[in-house]
Structure 1
């Protein structure tokens, strides 16, 4: 079986999931089941992303995000791939995307998001770390993927 957990040290929350058993968040001893948002209009979606460390790559990403901003409600930058994925699972964000993250950044949290009902797209095994990670509420996942491709994310 497969399981994963992500701890948010700032809030004391622990997000966890086991394949086929759903996802939960535990805080102060209370466990709450996670479900991603029910949303079907991309212009209403609150989306998070992250940026690469390399200056030129950040410049490219900023241009793409500026184009995408017109298609969604707003874009946030939290700072942690794992926590962003968990925020999608908890319904605090509608979607998240980022390229250039490593498997250890997303592995546990992607399971949490999937088990909470999000549509998750991950790099293929053995792919380079520049591949795109996407997690989104089912109603906006396809539209977001199309917009990301349009603005230059692969």
Structure 2
């Protein structure tokens, strides 16, 4: 099934993704000349990440100067700050693979309106594969309509994942998740580019995918492509609130449910009430954390003195 007409905003996103992909392909021919910086241990950024992001932003804002931008390398420094439309960009998802010459990486671009993703493009420049979707109009790979797999048994499922790699990630927690899922499915895979992993769920290559520690630009585009292909996406407790929760599960409906049941004990979802109670970064900077216990300590002492001595 071929989609005859694309949404104008999707067309601009495709143009931007292909321009970035061409730049990435050229750079891949001479990796020895690449300048690589380290954002944190095992977290790399190259001049290609910056150049690809630049050409994407230039293309998008050239067409829609009043839109906002949320990009991996430059954050919100470009575009309109308070627009209802925000482009969410990962210029090179799978930078570590790219640096090593492993051809599993992609460009990811999504457009959110009032926080809901409406347009999505994930471009794999090594295979010239273009995954794309418009909300309510289906998901496609090049000109072929995508549908998630029809597998219904967890024991038959091939599941994608991503390993934690940053300092501060909870490796022990992940190993427990890995062990549990691995014992119930047909196999686990870890190629190293979450945006592509989500597209592989949409295409039926995987039956499900899960990962922790992800940012909005890793999952925004891929999540719409999955849902438009008939799949489900959520956090580890199965709720639709995943974009800013740093955890995601995606899959064909019959595999998604048992996978969520396995992963829900490991959730780190931030509840709205926790967010309301937590101090803002600005407040934290103004009032150092150690000050809080000092204020509460006298209250606890008075309670102890009013009752029996603590044991």
- Give the TM-score, by structure 1 length: 0.87
Q: CA deviation at 1:43?
A: 1.0
Are 2:137 and 1:21 aligned?
Answer: yes
Are 2:149 and 1:37 aligned?
Answer: yes
Higher helix share: 2
Q: d(CA) in 2 for partners of 1:78 and 1:153?
A: 23
Partner of 2:230: 117
Q: CA deviation at 1:126?
A: 7.9
Q: Deviations over 1:59-104 (max 9, x none)?
A: 4312320222111110000111100000000000000001110000
The residue correspondences of 1:2-151 to structure 2 (distance < 5 A) are 2-26=118-142, 31-54=143-166, 57-122=170-235, 124=241, 127-129=244-246, 132-150=247-265
Say which SS state the counterpart of residue 250 (structure 2) adopts.
strand
Please tell me whether the aligned partners of residues 216 and 243 of structure 2 are also in contact (alpha carbons under 8 angstroms). no
Q: CA deviation at 1:124?
A: 2.8
Sort the Cα spacing of 1:39 and 1:6 in 2 relative to 1 into closer, same or farther, 3 A.
same
Q: Deviations over 1:102-153 (max 9, x none)?
A: 0000101100010000111157378443xx2011001111111011225x34
Flag structure 2 segments of 5+ consecutive residues without an equivalent.
Answer: 1-112, 269-311
Who wins on radius of gyration, i.e. which is larger? 2
Sort the Cα spacing of 1:83 and 1:127 in 2 relative to 1 into closer, same or farther, 3 A.
closer
Sort the Cα spacing of 1:100 and 1:40 in 2 relative to 1 into closer, same or farther, 3 A.
same
Higher strand share: 1
| Greater mean deviation of Cα atoms: 48-57 or 84-93 | 48-57
Say which SS state the counterpart of residue 37 (structure 1) adopts.
coil
Q: CA deviation at 1:10?
A: 1.7
Q: Which has the higher contact order (CA 8 A, sep 6+)?
A: 1
Q: Deviations over 1:24-57 (max 9, x none)?
A: 011xxxx100000011111111001002223562
Alignment: residue pair count: 147
Q: d(CA) in 2 for partners of 1:153 and 1:124?
A: 12
Sort the Cα spacing of 1:128 and 1:119 in 2 relative to 1 into closer, same or farther, 3 A.
closer
- Give the TM-score, by structure 2 length: 0.45
Q: d(CA) in 2 for partners of 1:52 and 1:133?
A: 13
Sort the Cα spacing of 1:73 and 1:126 in 2 relative to 1 into closer, same or farther, 3 A.
closer
Please tell me whether the aligned partners of residues 242 and 248 of structure 2 are also in contact (alpha carbons under 8 angstroms). no
Please tell me whether the aligned partners of residues 180 and 262 of structure 2 are also in contact (alpha carbons under 8 angstroms). no
